[in-house]
Structure 1
Amino acid sequence: MAQLEASKVVLKNPSYDAYFDKVQNRKKLPMSLQQTLTDAFASIPVSAFPEVPRGKAANTLGEDFYKVILEEEPFASTTVRSIVTSYRWAPFIPVASDSSMLSVLLLLSKYRLRNVPVIESGKASIKNFITQSAVVKGLEHCQGRDWFDCIASQLITEVGLPFMSTDEVICVQSSELVLEAFKLMKENQIGGLPVVEGPERNIVGSLSIREIKFLLLNRELFSNFRNLTVKDFMNTIASEAPDGGEIMIPITCSLSSTLGDVIHILSSKMVHRVYVVAASGKEVAGVITLRDVISCFIFEPPNYFENYLASSRQEVNS
């Protein structure tokens, strides 16, 4: 019961309403089409979604890594609770196998979760995870269907993208320390940012939170991590990692791209965001995330999650 109440508090975050209102106001899709799609997703059970393969964890971090973790700040005094509550998993908001995909899509878009765990009623185990990436990949497989082609053929500007303006995009200069880049990600609760140069903010690379693994697993990089610049970090990865050159290349689209183009890029490149560049092809003009793309396909019916949580409470009490 306490978990349900905590979920209700989180879902009431004003920033979620502000984001989704902005999305709905900027979309230029016929309301009849949006209503049809929302009704369709509401009728699809979560159990119909394919299971997501499990990932692998690194197993060799080296003595230097553990020494820093155990002895230096801020690592030494960081608690598990503070780490968990900083994730978008807090609180834990699962869905049941018989829940609708609309609930999942809203959690992944409006309510900003990256992953939604799927459980079976009465069982203390997680059956599946549905991620933002998996949903967008599933959308791409809908090519050829009238409803998808109608939306995918729209220019990104016609569906209101990018939702984030040029001034709102958080960037890092290539000359800044790489620790500052990861700090910006943590403070702004984002998973990546563009690497830029000059006052025009010309994009020269991209950095995601996933790249921190190179800092932890490379002894030479880790020994100098407090003085390492973003540019040096990127150059080292590009020269040493098997696919390092590709990792550092910024994934971009233009203002003349279609929504279908962006969906294909996100799906085929397996990335979480695409940076929109201006006519020059270099200046960052915006960013489109997995969350943004999912938001283009749905809206939230009135009192939807209030009713969802109420039904969950009844199930817990029964």
Structure 2
Amino acid sequence: MGAVGAVGVATLGAIGPVAVAGLTAAAVGAAVAGGLTAEKGVAKDGLTAADHLGEDFYKVLLQQEPFKSTTVRSIVESYRWSPFVPVTLDSTMLTVLLLLSKYRLRNVPVIEPDKPVIKNFITQTGVIKGLQQCKGRDWFDYISALPLSDLGLPFMSFDEVITVNSGDLILEAFKCMKDNKIGGVPVVEGPNRKLVGSVSIRDIRFLLLRPDLFSSFRQLTVMEFMKTLGSTLPDSGNDGLVKPPLTCAPDASLGSVIDSIASRITHRIYVVNGDFEVLGVVTLRDVISCFIYEPPGYCDNYLASAMDKFEDKGSGSVDKSEHQITS
């Protein structure tokens, strides 16, 4: 764990129960299912999209592969964060934070034992917003004041960051995310990888929900895709690009990164130099990991069993998916 582990040991070793209790008390409202808000924009659902694309919209989908034969079961089984690892109302917050960081889950279902009902979800984004509410607590103020470099961030080196060029086809960008099991990529230009945008795996929905994209998605470049979305969505930048990428300097404090991520409800922030060249990426998982460490033998039986399945499925791709995952 390096610097991150040392900070985690120091903090939890001295005031661990206080820190976890403080996070629970301050964050429970934000952490439970507090991760995402509804996106604003055109055609947010299938019915609205059908109105825009015409009455044959669903008919066309049902006649084409992979829509025609793909089942819900096959989609669930392909999820990179399977198996299903829930927590109960009596589970500790440390267990939840470990699942959302070290053990790579994007969200954690909350259940009641012996009841076939999911009561809620705790998301990475919800935890970050909960952490933001912990300002003024000694343990949080100490860690959040540290610069990224003191915490070993970004975890990925410059040459490990996966990028796409603005002139690449948007389908290639989505394929890149799928192949590398990551949730988003920075869009760059030139040999020095100057950051010009960002594409998330969640943006793929616009290929179906926007008629102007649906009609030509096979020929669209990444830049054309971003500009088309940016021309209509309310959170676009002045240059018409959708969601200008969130950035920070290498010497930014962890607290400023938390504030930036929480204000934009995004899953990653790109570390850039003065020329806006990509140096690294910091994800929600990375931020959460700075506040915890796993005591020896902490894992419960259900977590150990789940990790056996994780190791069987995730060997060889852990590093990339841990540090650049989620939209």
Q: How does 1:115-154 map to 2 (within 5 A)?
A: 115-154=107-146
Q: Structure 1 residues 71 and 196 mapped into 2: Cα distance closer, same or farther (>3 Å)?
A: same
- Segments of structure 2 that go 5 or more residues without pairing to the other structure are 39-43, 307-327
Residue in 2 aligned with 1:207? Answer: 199
- Aligned partners of 2:9 and 2:293 also within 8 Å: no
| 1:310 Cα offset (Å) | 8.0
Secondary structure of the corresponding residue to residue 231 of structure 2: helix
- CA–CA separation in structure 1 for the residues paired with 2:10 and 2:186: 37
- CA–CA separation in structure 2 for the residues paired with 1:67 and 1:97: 43
Residue in 2 aligned with 1:10? Answer: none
Residue in 2 aligned with 1:9? Answer: none
Work out which of the residue numbers 16, 25, 37 in structure 1 matches 2:2: 25
Residue in 2 aligned with 1:291? Answer: 285
- CA–CA separation in structure 1 for the residues paired with 2:23 and 2:281: 31
Q: Which amino acid aligns with 2:10?
A: S
- CA–CA separation in structure 1 for the residues paired with 2:305 and 2:152: 34
Residue in 2 aligned with 1:18? Answer: none
TM-score by length of 1: 0.82
| 1:94 Cα offset (Å) | 0.6
TM-score by length of 2: 0.80
Q: Structure 1 residues 196 and 37 mapped into 2: Cα distance closer, same or farther (>3 Å)?
A: farther
Secondary structure of the corresponding residue to residue 247 of structure 1: coil
- Aligned partners of 1:238 and 1:244 also within 8 Å: yes
Residue in 2 aligned with 1:52? Answer: 33
- Aligned partners of 1:46 and 1:100 also within 8 Å: no
| 1:293 Cα offset (Å) | 0.2
- CA–CA separation in structure 1 for the residues paired with 2:137 and 2:37: 31
Work out which of the residue numbers 296, 300, 303 in structure 1 matches 2:294: 300
Work out which of the residue numbers 232, 244, 249 in structure 2 matches 1:249: 244
| 1:311 Cα offset (Å) | 11
- Aligned partners of 2:8 and 2:292 also within 8 Å: no
- CA–CA separation in structure 1 for the residues paired with 2:270 and 2:139: 26
- CA–CA separation in structure 1 for the residues paired with 2:157 and 2:255: 21
| 1:287 Cα offset (Å) | 0.3
- CA–CA separation in structure 1 for the residues paired with 2:304 and 2:10: 28
Residue in 2 aligned with 1:11? Answer: none
The size of the alignment, in residue pairs, is 288
Work out which of the residue numbers 273, 276, 279 in structure 2 matches 1:278: 273
- Aligned partners of 1:42 and 1:101 also within 8 Å: yes
Secondary structure of the corresponding residue to residue 276 of structure 1: strand
2:182 matches 1:195:
no
Residue in 2 aligned with 1:13? Answer: none
Q: Structure 1 residues 31 and 300 mapped into 2: Cα distance closer, same or farther (>3 Å)?
A: closer
Q: Structure 1 residues 52 and 309 mapped into 2: Cα distance closer, same or farther (>3 Å)?
A: closer
| 1:296 Cα offset (Å) | 0.4
For 1:78-110, what per-residue CA distance to the aligned partner results, in whole angstroms no more than 9, with x for missing partners? 332231123244111110001100110000001
Secondary structure of the corresponding residue to residue 274 of structure 1: strand
| 1:203 Cα offset (Å) | 0.3
- Segments of structure 1 that go 5 or more residues without pairing to the other structure are 1-23, 313-318
- Aligned partners of 1:154 and 1:259 also within 8 Å: yes
Secondary structure of the corresponding residue to residue 305 of structure 1: coil
Q: Structure 1 residues 303 and 74 mapped into 2: Cα distance closer, same or farther (>3 Å)?
A: same
Residue in 2 aligned with 1:218? Answer: 210
- CA–CA separation in structure 2 for the residues paired with 1:203 and 1:216: 27
Q: Which amino acid aligns with 1:150?
A: Y
- Aligned partners of 2:186 and 2:195 also within 8 Å: yes
- CA–CA separation in structure 1 for the residues paired with 2:12 and 2:298: 16
Q: Structure 1 residues 99 and 174 mapped into 2: Cα distance closer, same or farther (>3 Å)?
A: same
Q: Which amino acid aligns with 2:167?
A: S
Residue in 1 aligned with 2:82? Answer: 90
Residue in 1 aligned with 2:157? Answer: 165
| 1:210 Cα offset (Å) | 2.1
Work out which of the residue numbers 26, 41, 49 in structure 2 matches 1:61: 49
| 1:189 Cα offset (Å) | 1.8
Q: Which amino acid aligns with 2:13?
A: Q
